[in-house]
Each structure stands twice: as structure tokens, then as C-alpha cells.
Amino acid sequence: MKTLYERLQPAIHAEVASTLFPSATVHQRDARQDAIDLVQDVFVALLARDAAVLRSWDPERGAKLETFVRMVAHRYVLGVLRTRSRNPYELEPIDFEQLDRIAASEAAIESRVDARTLLHQLDGELDERGRGLFRQLFAEGRPTAEVASSAGMTHNAVYAWSARLGRKLRAMLDVQRDSFQANEPKDSRDA
């Protein structure tokens, strides 16, 4: 247990804290206590029922164990933030395809990318409705059907909005990358 804990705790803690951070800033709760509770919950979720969730990780799929547990942690914390209810024994099924997508996206975002600025710029591009959609879909992880219903939109309209957002996000990433390249010394580019 100690070995497993020592390996996974930092990743789970980082994910829990990262997912909690926006809402913790807003709600001014004792964030440390929340984080510790949730880290424990995530471990319980992983280890419950003879570690069924943890054992569902398949190294052959490509995602590292830490990436996998971070996804579990992210989903769990989002669920708690949405429902205000903690129950690590009722974890939503792991979407392994989505896990692969996230791992690929993370790998594609270089460390030099200034994600804070990018999100700030994106926020500036969105109108009030767009911010609401972004918050519900991406920050709160709400199901598309629920978001579509609350926004009075069709499924496809939400998908279309999401697609445009994705194009915008990728374009912003490209601008940052171009900027990095332009600022790199010529020697390092040649190398």
C-alpha cells in the first residue's frame, strides 16, 4: 500500500488540486481540507472492490498509470463539484478512448505553451453564452445532452459550437508556437 501510495499520491494530489483550484478560488472554502478528502476518495475509488478500477488500467493501451489515475481523479472531482456528493464507490465508468485523446492532447502541448494566456485569450473571444457553454462542458464536465438542454440547443448545435471552439483553440496554439519559433535564435532552429 505504501509503495502504491507513494507512486500515485503526487499525481492524484496534483490532479485533485488542479481540478479544484478554479472552484476553490470562487467559493473560498478550506481548499486544503477538500483536497485531502478528495485525494483519499480517489484512492478509495481506485482500490474499492479489489482494486477493480485500478486493475482496469491497461498499459498496452499506451496511457501511463499516472495519466490513468489522473483521469479518474479529474472525473471524480468534477462529479463531486457538480453533485456536491462524495461517493468514491460509484465512480463513472472509465472512458478509455477519451483517456487516449487526453493523453495525446497533453503530449501535443509543449511545456513552453503559455496555457494561462491561451485560456485568457479564449475567454475574451467568447460571448456570455459561449462562456457558459465552455464552463459547463469543459470546466464542469457536464454531459453534452445536459448542456444542450439547459442552453436550449440541439445536440448538433453544441457539437458545432464545440468544433468552432476547437479550431479557435488550435489556431491560438499555432500562433503561440509561431511566436516561439520567431523568437528562437536562428542557430537553435538550424540545429
Partner 1 sequence: MSEATHDSDPSELEREHRDVLALAEAVSRAATRDWQDVALGRAELDEVAAQRAEAGDDPEALARAKQLFRPFDDLEDARMIDALLGAVAQPTAQPDTPADPAQPSREHAERRFLIAVTLVAIAAVLVFTLVAIGSSLRGSGDPLEPIAALPSYTVDPGEGLATKRSTPADERLRYTAANTYDWIVRPGLDVAGPLPRVFAVARDAASHDHPLALRFETAATGTMRARPAASASSGSRSASGPSCSRWSAASVSTSRSRRSSSSSRWPPRTDRPWPSASGIGPTSS
- Residue 149 contacts partner 1 per CB under 8 A: no
- Residue 102 contacts partner 1 per CB under 8 A: yes
What mask, x for binding partner 1 by CB under 8 A, covers residues 21 to 50? x--xx--x-xxxx-xxx-xx--xx--xxx-
Give the CA distances from residue 118 to residues 82, 104, 123, 161, in Å, rounded to whole numbers and listed in that order.
25, 19, 9, 18
Residue 93 or 185 having the CB closest to partner 1? 93
Q: Where are the alpha helices (DSSP H) in 28-114?
A: 31-55, 65-83, 96-108
What DSSP designation does 92 have? Answer: P
- Residue 166 contacts partner 1 per CB under 8 A: yes
Please select the residue that binds partner 1; options are 65, 96, 121, 130, rule is CB under 8 A: 130
- Residue 94 contacts partner 1 per CB under 8 A: no
**Cell numbers standing for residue 16:** 485533485
- Residue 115 contacts partner 1 per CB under 8 A: yes
How far is residue 191's CA from residue 46's CA, in Å, rounded to a whole number? 45
Could you identify the residue written with the cell 501535443?
A: 108
- Residue 55 contacts partner 1 per CB under 8 A: no
